[in-house]
């Protein structure tokens, strides 16, 4: 599971500013532009998109119709190519693969699920699941039926294995489409509105399947219109007119303009912590502003009698580190992931935090006020132990 993963050294980028590969960042888009030629002229569907997705993340991609979500997924899937920029998946430069290499690479590394399930109508369900196996040679041919049945079992569809797609419901067809996407046991699943054509109960069960797959170590990118589902994933990004905004940043700071959000999104560093892990040690230098996007963060102080005390618990949308960044000095408290669940935070470095404060005076005033309150509370809590 993702919180067991080793963190990579801070700066995974080379001196040329390009990414080095083979690190925890499984998917990387670097300055991706996609321009379509239309009757009305050139249209930029993606504008200079940077995106990093770590292994075992469950990333939701949200945004209005026509904002560029499918185009983004297609860049990663190699279904379409960027006009400029780079797409890396693991160590593979996807944008450089030729058609033949692309098909083989995709078959082994990606499972793709669409809104309309796209099962072949003349093949039985188990035959549909075996189809990608025959193409990729990952499983020995005599083992394919057994493996396909196992995937159908996992999707609770084994009883229907020998039916045709037309004999089952839409939700069931989507389960089979997911089984097919998993045929070659790919590390990554790309899903473009997989629940868009399902009722909410069925959508929920498909979503739960995805959650299970993430727990098993898969990395999933899911385009969705469903904001409730988007809240349950590791992280969400929003596409706005071909640009990417980190949803956790937008939710925490709704007064920032979309240009500001796009600019600061480029500087955001998502970090994952295991349950109970220390995020910031009391007394350590503070170099980052942290925004919680998932899980709960406990703020712990040592009282004057030495006992530790949880003085606050922060959840989605709360932030910390601002006291030290505004006032200087080392961390006034320890921040650690609560013991019940992993934590996801967005970090902004000191310079970016300073820029944000400078560009958004109202936000600066708000954050300064919170910092003041927290300092006062901390002093009171520390005395409380005597
Ligand atoms: N092949 C294409 N030719 C021209 N325009 C396209 C093409 N594909 C997508 N677009 C345009 O790019 C924009 C983004 O499309 P898309 O990524 O499909 O949006 P979304 O998935 O967010 O609804 C839309 O305005 C769409 O019309
Ligand atoms: Mg789309």
Q: How far apart are CA 62 and CA 46, in angstroms?
A: 14
Chain centroid to CA 154: 24
User: Quick check: 377 pLDDT over 90?
Assistant: no
CATH architecture of residue range(s) 269-384: Sandwich (2.60)
pLDDT band (50, 70, 90) for residue 384: low
Determine what percent of the chain is predicted with pLDDT higher than 70. 93
Cross-strand pairs, 38? 41
Which region, left, alpha or beta, applies to residue 333 given φ > 0 means left and ψ of -120 to 50 means alpha?
A: beta
3-state secondary structure of 357: helix
Ligand 1: which of 66, 194, 245 to mutate, most ligand atoms within 8 Å of CB?
Answer: 66
The model's pLDDT over 125-151, given as tens digits with 9 standing for 90+, comes to 999 999 999 888 889 999 999 999 999
Confidence of residue 380 (pLDDT cuts 50, 70, 90): confident
What pLDDT, in 10s, does the model give residues 110-128?
999 998 889 999 999 999 9
Q: Give the residue, by CA position, lying nearest to ligand 1 atom 19.
A: 66
Superfamily of domain 2-6+22-241: P-loop containing nucleotide triphosphate hydrolases (3.40.50.300)
Output b/e per residue, 227-248; b: 16+ Cβ within 10 A.
eebbebbbbbbbbbebbbbbbb
Q: CA-to-CA distance for 5 and 335, rounded, in angstroms?
A: 20
What are the residue boundaries of the structural domains of the chain, listed by start? 2-6+22-241, 269-384
For the CA of 67, the closest atom of ligand 1 is 22
Tens-place pLDDT, residues 52-103:
999 989 999 999 999 999 999 999 999 999 999 999 999 899 999 999 999 9
Tell me the pTM.
0.89
Q: What is the mean pLDDT of residues 7-30?
A: 51
| Residue 282: strand, helix, or coil | coil
In this prediction, residue 20 carries a pLDDT of 34
Convert the pLDDT of each residue in 299-344 to its tens digit: 999 888 888 899 999 999 999 999 999 988 899 899 999 999 999 9
Summarised one tens digit per residue, pLDDT across range 259-291 is 999 999 999 999 999 999 999 999 999 999 999
383 or 66, greater pLDDT: 66
Output the residue whose Cα is nearest ligand 1's atom 27.
66
């Amino acid at each position: 599971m993702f919180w067991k993963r080793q963190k990579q050294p801070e700066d995974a980028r080379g001196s040329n500013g390009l990414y080095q590969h083979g690190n925890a960042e499984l998917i990387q888009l670097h300055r991706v532009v996609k321009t379509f030629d239309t009757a009305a002229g050139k249209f930029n569907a993606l504008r200079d998109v940077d995106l990093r997705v770590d292994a075992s993340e469950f990333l939701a991609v949200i945004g209005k119709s026509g904002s560029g979500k499918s185009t983004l997924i297609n860049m990663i899937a190699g279904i379409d190519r960027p006009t400029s920029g780079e797409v890396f998946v693991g160590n593979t430069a996807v944008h450089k693969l030729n058609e033949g290499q692309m098909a083989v690479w995709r078959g082994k590394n990606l499972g793709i699920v669409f809104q309309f399930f796209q099962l072949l109508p003349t093949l039985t369900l188990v035959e549909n699941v075996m189809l990608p196996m025959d193409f990729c040679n990952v499983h020995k041919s005599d083992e394919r039926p057994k493996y396909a049945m196992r995937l159908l079992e996992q999707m609770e569809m084994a009883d229907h294995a020998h039916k045709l797609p037309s004999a089952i419901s839409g939700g069931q067809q989507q389960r089979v489409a997911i089984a097919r996407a998993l045929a070659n046991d790919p590390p990554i699943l790309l899903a473009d509105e997989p629940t868009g054509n399902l009722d909410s109960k069925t959508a929920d069960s498909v979503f739960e399947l995805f959650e299970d797959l993430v727990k098993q170590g898969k990395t999933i990118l899911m385009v969705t219109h469903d904001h409730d589902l988007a809240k349950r994933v590791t992280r969400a990004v929003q596409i706005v007119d071909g640009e990417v905004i980190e949803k956790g940043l937008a939710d925490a700071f709704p007064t920032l303009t979309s240009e500001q959000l796009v600019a600061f999104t480029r500087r955001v560093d998502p970090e994952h912590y295991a349950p109970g892990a220390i995020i910031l040690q009391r007394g350590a230098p503070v170099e980052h502003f942290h925004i919680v996007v998932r899980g709960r963060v406990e703020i712990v102080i040592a009282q004057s009698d030495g006992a530790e005390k949880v003085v606050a618990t922060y959840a989605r949308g709360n932030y910390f580190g601002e006291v030290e960044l505004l006032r200087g000095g080392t961390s006034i408290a320890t921040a650690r992931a609560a013991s019940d669940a992993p934590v996801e935070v967005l970090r902004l470095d000191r310079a970016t935090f300073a820029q944000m404060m400078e560009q958004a005076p109202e936000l600066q005033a708000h954050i300064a006020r919170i910092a003041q309150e927290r300092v006062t509370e901390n002093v009171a809590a520390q005395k409380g132990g005597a």
